[in-house]
Amino acid sequence: MSTDRSSAGDPARTLALLWGGGEERPGRRGPRQARTVPEIAAAAIALADAEGLAAVTMRAVAQRLGLSPMALYTYVPGKAELLDLVLDTVYAAMPRRTPADDGWRARTAAVADDNAALFAAHPWVADIATGRPPLGPGLMAKYEYELRALEGLGLGDVETDAALSFVLGFVHSCARAAADERAAEQQSAMSDEQWWAGNADLLAKVFDPERFPTAARIGAAAGEAHGAASSAAHAYAFGLQRVLDGLAALEAEARSRRGLAPESDA
């Protein structure tokens, strides 16, 4: 269960931070600030990438920047606002792949791959609950780009938003599975293939293939294919095509409602 969530801070102060551009405020009294908001965001992101989200505290970020914790509060109101800042910053910096063609299917696959790459680069992002997303410039640019990928499906506005949530939810689920794979390997100091090979004799003593013939047959085939009980990478590749197939069916329904002939999108 996620313990960190976006938009947990003061909304007015968060929006001022995210949309302030990282520049020193005109008319601000006192000495010129030694750091900028983008520098603070970069330091927090580097800390999260290296040590995980739990390591990102106001004190730790201040130390990384050579500031006192109290000095950091003159830039960022608190930990909740800092979390929104780093999240919006990674959204703004997301690379956008060039799709194979201009059809909605290729564009949507590119959106999914973009988000998968984001989670791979910054695994901690998947641990943040974003039911109330930070409405910063990074998120809004991301949302605009992703919605445009679905143009051509012929859906209404609410359906388009739901379709995007469907795609992003799938990618998020796969990202968590991939993170679980990595965590298991790190904690056991063994790959999945090594773990299964090392425990094969123990499992053979308790598992009865005659009692569970389907599980035995299919599990063996999957294990041989993946070197483990499952593969997050294979699940992503297989599932993304099924997600796109589902959207194609939704497109066909929308066209049928409007009395239009089916249209293929390679």
Q: What pLDDT band is residue 264 in, cutting at 50, 70 and 90?
A: low
Is the pLDDT at 31 greater than 50? The verdict is no
26 pLDDT band, cuts 50/70/90, is very low
What confidence category does residue 87 fall into, taking pLDDT thresholds of 50, 70 and 90?
Answer: very high
Alpha-carbon distance values, 59 to 1, 9, 67, 84, 229 (Å): 25, 18, 9, 17, 42
Name the 3-class secondary structure at 106: helix
Mean pLDDT for all residues in the chain: 88
Q: Given this model, what pLDDT does residue 254 score?
A: 82
How confident is the model over 36-75, as pLDDT tens digits? Answer: 999 999 999 999 999 999 999 999 999 999 999 999 999 9
Q: Is 5 helix (H, G, I), strand (E, B) or coil?
A: strand
Cβ atoms of 41 and 115 within 8 Å: the answer is no
Domain boundaries, the chain: 4-92, 104-257
pLDDT for position 218:
87
Q: Angle at the Cα of 246 (from 140 to 91), degrees rounded to 5?
A: 20
Residue-wise pLDDT for 169-218, tens only, equals: 999 999 999 888 888 888 888 877 787 778 778 878 888 888 888 988 88
Cα 45 off chain centre by = 14
Question: Which residues partner with 129 through β-bridges?
Answer: 5
Q: What is the CA radius of gyration of the chain?
A: 23
Q: What percent of the chain has pLDDT over 70?
A: 91
For residue 54 the two structure tokens come to 């739990």
Whether residue 149 contacts residue 108, with contact meaning beta carbons closer than 8 Å, is answered with: yes
CATH H-level superfamily of 104-257: Tetracycline Repressor, domain 2 (1.10.357.10)
User: 224 falls in which pLDDT band (50, 70, 90)?
Assistant: confident
What pLDDT is attached to residue 262? Answer: 56
- The fold adopted by the segment(s) 4-92 is Arc Repressor Mutant, subunit A (1.10.10)
Cα 164-239-213 angle, rounded to 5 deg: 145
Residue 154 has pLDDT above 70, yes or no: yes
For residues 141-150, average pLDDT: 96
Average pLDDT over residues 119-130: 95
Q: Give which of 114, 93, 129, 233 is closest to 167, Cα–Cα.
A: 114
